[in-house]
Amino acid sequence: MTEPDAAPPTAPAKPKSGWLNLVVDYGPVVIFFAVYRFSSPSDHNNSVAEVLAVIKGTVAFMVAAVIALLVSKWKLGRVSPMLWLSTGLIVVFGGLTVLLQDKVFIQIKPTAIYVLFGAALLIGAWRGKALLKILLEAAFEGLDNEGWMKLSVRWGWFFLSLAALNEGLRHSLDFGDWIAAKLWLFLPLSFLFTFAQLPMLLKHGLAQEAEAEVLTDPPHE
């Protein structure tokens, strides 16, 4: 009598992200804001003290971004391609800010990421590839290919809109208000946009239990 075939090994369950994903994604921005606000002089005409505050905030931002990447690898068992790229650009543009003592480099970092992601997603969709599925490592359980394609196109245009918004704000606001906008404008806009995609995602097969992951692990810069 032949023995029954052994059951194929099951793949290990992917760690749930939840609140930790939010900390990894947005914690460095919060630290950037807090360190700059704490170090910023009351007299904004004091250019030396203002530049020093920008440098302190930028260094804290760079360190926090690297720590967030390591925490993602340690606790979640993975580092998404988006997080790798975002952290790399934070270090590059942050380093230029510190070395040249010019805040413009850290301000154009979001624009560079938004344009890069937006163009990549739209070009990929034009060529019939849903690149967001690769960038998010197919994180949204059950979503079909058409859903991934629609999501890639929508996020592509949204990223380009955020790039334009960032450029407008960095030219019209002082540095402190620009950082505040990253917390109180860009993050709410991103969450609202993500939430608005849920009906389409559910229509294209997103598992009900994956809804929370969509909201806690949206694409980000």
Give Cα separations from 2 to 5, 8, 9 (angstroms). 9, 17, 20
Per-domain residue ranges of the chain:
18-216
Residue 83 has pLDDT above 80, yes or no: yes
Residue 161 to residues 157, 165, 166, 187, 190, Cα–Cα distance (Å): 6, 6, 9, 14, 11
- pLDDT single digits (tens) 17-28: 556 777 777 888
pTM given for the model: 0.80
Q: Indicate whether 149 pLDDT > 60.
A: yes
Top-confidence range, 1-10, 121-130, 200-209, 211-220: 121-130
CA distances from 44 to 31, 59, 88 (A): 21, 20, 30
**Cα angle: 25, vertex 31, 33; to 5 degrees:** 110
